[in-house]
Amino acid sequence: MQRIGSALWPSLQCFQVYGANTNVGKTIVSTALCKAWRGKLDLSVHYLKPVSTGPLDDADVNHMAKFAPGVNTKTLFQFSKPLSPHIAAKDAGDIPPDLTVQQRTYHDLSEAVTKADVAIVETAGGVLSPAPSGSVQADVYRPLRLPVLLVGDYHLGGISSTIAAYESLRIRGYDVLAHFIFEDAEYQNSKYLTDFFLGNKVSTIELPKPPRQVEDAMKDLQNMQTYYSDVAASHAILEAVERLGHQHEARIKRLGEMSARAADTIWYPFTQHKGRRPEDIVVIDSAFGDNFDTLSNTMSPEASILTPAMDGSASWWTQGLGHGNPSLALSAASAAGRYGHVMFAGAIHEPALSLAEMLLQHHDNPRLAKVFYSDNGSTGMEVAVKMALRAARTRYGWDHAQEDIGILGLRGSYHGDTMGVMDCSEPSTYNDRIEWYNPKGYWLDYPTVIMRAGRWFVEPPHGQEAAFGNAQSFDSLNDIFDLRRREDAVYTRYIEKTLTELRDAGRKFGALILEPVILGAGGMNFIDPLFQHALIKAVRNRPDLIGTQKLRKPGSLDSWSGLPVVFDEVFTGLYRLGRFNCSSFLQAQPDIVVNAKLLTGGLIPLCTTTASQDIFDAFLSDEKADALLHGHSYTAHAVGCAVAVDSLDAMMQMEKTGKWDEFRRSWATDEVTGEGCWSMWSKEFVTKVTNKESIDGVFAIGSVLALTLKDAAGGGYNSLAAQGLHSRLLDIGDKGWRIHSRVLGNVLYLMTSQITTWETLKNVEQFILESVN
């Protein structure tokens, strides 16, 4: 199957003609341009009208053939009623789906490459007129992201419709290269719009109005022929076609230089730059839905130099609602237009309040009461640590000037790169060369979940069967999560023994910090949920092992006991694992939860740290100095909050309306239907891949898939075992697309967005099955 992506062929200049309204002269502008290309520059020209309505005689292709002879013309879908395509197609009883329109348009252009120098794709009606399916036309063609020639509206009111059309194109990520408009002495729209577009760095080409239609058909024909001859030879048009050619070349040149320029100017995150070649930097021209459109290394002028590539890490775990989502773009723009950013000290605005109320409601956790905003997971975890330590210190009466207060966590945890939260992780490759790194805590071992050769297992950490018990096999993932039926005595014994030893050694802790279910950056470790459940229970039930023998409010759900329990759900929360949050997986609710990444559907940074009333109260005092003196300039920025409200709403609607039911069904077991855990990756696929020779084990939950590859050297961060598979997924071969995955040691993981479709997943799964040895 030919993937649809951004279309850019060096040897074929392609432009899409959009009209600011219907009846503004799209076909006339197209014809004049084609005639100019044919005539003066002697180029081969291809004219495509993907969707046309009205009687065939009047069809735009015929007009083109008549007045710009020699231009190759084509219509893909012709509907006879002279109405909007969505009505005309319905009337004809033949409604091509958007994907078909996209594919056939792309295919037609790719066939034109060897035959033509320039191609024009003329749209129907206005910018946002419906396609046959009813989708807005500019959305349908967006995956191809052809450079746009906008034909302005010269009628009364046309200034408004032209600027509005331009804005709607920009919201959808189009580049508008030029604006064409007919001169009109009365309304003078062209004069106004020339200035407007100049301010937006878009040039305007004014064309004389075509002659009025006359009764005499022959005369009419002659008039039009004269018109076109004049216009096609006019300075304005010739300059325009020349400039368009330059713009086409300049775009390709810039794309070709970007890797080298980036290597010159950018200091990349998490990257050892020694030996990194500029050509290893992927140039992303744009992105849409699940895909990046990346510059290929192909340099044949007849091959498209842009290749769709699945964003297989969901852009570092951020993507929820897909790239280039016009609805989120409008949410962002709307908040920007209403507020910009407004200071959040002592103030409130609707998006921040709506989001806070939404989070408190949907976390559905009686412990949670207050939302604190920051900019990203790392800063939000810094806030969580400050909150928890203060609450614990205050309750237990510790003096932090005299005593070290650390955190309890799990080995391999990761909470971000600011130095405070680096100290929440035990020494590792990530942190131990950082000059100020100073680990503050204790990190427990834990049993993990994995599927091997079609069976699910819970396995103790290497060589620790004595403490954790032997590996156990399960029929399904749901059985592993059925905590009520499982026995946690062994885990509890191990945890309480550890806590006792720590207490006896004089260690003090101010928080239990967990990434629920999966440790992300630490290596995609799927922890036995029963262990995390037992750990939380032990900490809450045995405050005597922490700092005091007294429970302040025993049994109270809205007060913490033992230690404040912090869930770092930056990675795992907000539907990553198929649910709004992770509490139901662990049958335990946190006192503080941190959300980021998917919070904004994958658009811009924002983070919330949501805490209990009890923890909030620990900062109340007559002294300002006792307050949580933390804040960022863009705290609760309106744009982020508005996008988050709309993103969460969209994801909750998807859940409510059963958009993920097809995925769920694949994972349903007899006992657990509907409510069980599930993955976008099908059970059939996951099972199949575990039987591959090179695979040690696999897990999938929610949108996450992790493949552990066999490594004779034992795996770990520096393992190269997954490199081969990573490269094979990047190899475009004859598939027309590729997959960007990410590697952590000998684990290769893939992550979908929350809108990835069943069909796409089937293709990705097939690709993987073919690529794994």
Say which amino acid occupies 384: A
For a copy of itself, the binding residue among 16, 325, 425, 583 (CB under 8 A) is: 325
395 binds a copy of itself (CB under 8 A): no
Identity of the residue, 137 or 204, whose beta carbon is nearer to a copy of itself in the bound complex = 137
- H or E element that contains 148: strand 148-151
CA angle 441, 445, 450 (to 5 degrees): 140
Please choose, from the candidates 619, 636, 637, the residue with its C-alpha nearest in 3D space to the C-alpha of residue 628.
Answer: 619
Residues with Cβ within 8 Å of 33's Cβ and at least 6 positions away in sequence, in order, are: 120, 149, 237, 240, 241
For a copy of itself, the binding residue among 440, 688, 710, 735 (CB under 8 A) is: 440
Say which amino acid occupies 697: G
d(CA 164, CA 177) in angstroms, rounded, equals 16
The site map against a copy of itself for 665-704 (x = CB under 8 A) is ----------------------------------------
55 binds a copy of itself (CB under 8 A): no
**Least Å from the CB of residue 616 to a copy of itself:** 6
Chain residues 251-280 in contact with a copy of itself, contact rule CB under 8 A:
254, 258-259, 261-262, 265-275, 280
Identity of the residue, 441 or 543, whose beta carbon is nearer to a copy of itself in the bound complex = 441
Please choose, from the candidates 479, 397, 518, the residue with its C-alpha nearest in 3D space to the C-alpha of residue 671.
Answer: 479
Identity of the residue, 237 or 645, whose beta carbon is nearer to a copy of itself in the bound complex = 645
Are 119 and 15 a contacting pair, CB within 8 Å? yes
Listed ranges 40-48, 78-86, 111-119, 704-712: which one lies at the site for a copy of itself (CB under 8 A): 78-86
**Least Å from the CB of residue 612 to a copy of itself:** 11
712 binds a copy of itself (CB under 8 A): no
**Least Å from the CB of residue 166 to a copy of itself:** 9
Identity of the residue, 136 or 725, whose beta carbon is nearer to a copy of itself in the bound complex = 136
Are 649 and 656 a contacting pair, CB within 8 Å? no
Provide the sign of the torsion angle of the four alpha carbons 258, 259, 261, 267, taken in this order: positive
Say which amino acid occupies 530: L
**Least Å from the CB of residue 418 to a copy of itself:** 4
Identity of the residue, 198 or 343, whose beta carbon is nearer to a copy of itself in the bound complex = 343
91 binds a copy of itself (CB under 8 A): no
Structure tokens, 308: 């769709």
730 binds a copy of itself (CB under 8 A): no
Residues with Cβ within 8 Å of 273's Cβ and at least 6 positions away in sequence, in order, are: 267
Chain residues 509-548 in contact with a copy of itself, contact rule CB under 8 A:
510
Identity of the residue, 330 or 672, whose beta carbon is nearer to a copy of itself in the bound complex = 330
For a copy of itself, the binding residue among 378, 525, 752, 760 (CB under 8 A) is: 378
- H or E element that contains 74: strand 72-79
Are 97 and 65 a contacting pair, CB within 8 Å? no
d(CA 636, CA 619) in angstroms, rounded, equals 20
Structure tokens, 594: 């941190």
3-class DSSP state for residue 446?
Answer: coil
For a copy of itself, the binding residue among 227, 228, 317, 737 (CB under 8 A) is: 317
Chain residues 595-654 in contact with a copy of itself, contact rule CB under 8 A:
596-597, 602-605, 609, 611, 616, 619-635, 637, 639-640
Chain residues 102-121 in contact with a copy of itself, contact rule CB under 8 A:
none
For a copy of itself, the binding residue among 21, 307, 647, 756 (CB under 8 A) is: 21
CA angle 238, 242, 244 (to 5 degrees): 115
3-class DSSP state for residue 200?
Answer: coil
Are 284 and 231 a contacting pair, CB within 8 Å? no
Identity of the residue, 491 or 509, whose beta carbon is nearer to a copy of itself in the bound complex = 509
379 binds a copy of itself (CB under 8 A): yes
168 binds a copy of itself (CB under 8 A): yes
State how far Cα 592 lies from the chain centre: 26
For a copy of itself, the binding residue among 386, 486, 537, 683 (CB under 8 A) is: 386
The site map against a copy of itself for 446-475 (x = CB under 8 A) is ------------------------------
Please choose, from the candidates 705, 701, 758, 500, the residue with its C-alpha nearest in 3D space to the C-alpha of residue 582.
Answer: 701
Say which amino acid occupies 688: K
286 binds a copy of itself (CB under 8 A): yes
Listed ranges 95-103, 297-305, 413-421, 703-711: which one lies at the site for a copy of itself (CB under 8 A): 413-421
d(CA 292, CA 315) in angstroms, rounded, equals 10
**Least Å from the CB of residue 190 to a copy of itself:** 12
Chain residues 472-511 in contact with a copy of itself, contact rule CB under 8 A:
510
Count other C-beta atoms under 10 Å from residue 766's C-beta: 12
The site map against a copy of itself for 196-235 (x = CB under 8 A) is ----------------------------------------
d(CA 187, CA 386) in angstroms, rounded, equals 63
Residues with Cβ within 8 Å of 606's Cβ and at least 6 positions away in sequence, in order, are: 373, 375, 376, 596, 599, 600, 637, 640, 641, 643, 644
For a copy of itself, the binding residue among 210, 245, 420, 439 (CB under 8 A) is: 420
Listed ranges 97-105, 239-247, 434-442, 487-495: which one lies at the site for a copy of itself (CB under 8 A): 434-442
Chain residues 330-369 in contact with a copy of itself, contact rule CB under 8 A:
330, 332-350, 352-353, 356-357, 360, 369
Structure tokens, 253: 């040149």
Number of residues that bind a copy of itself (CB under 8 A): 171
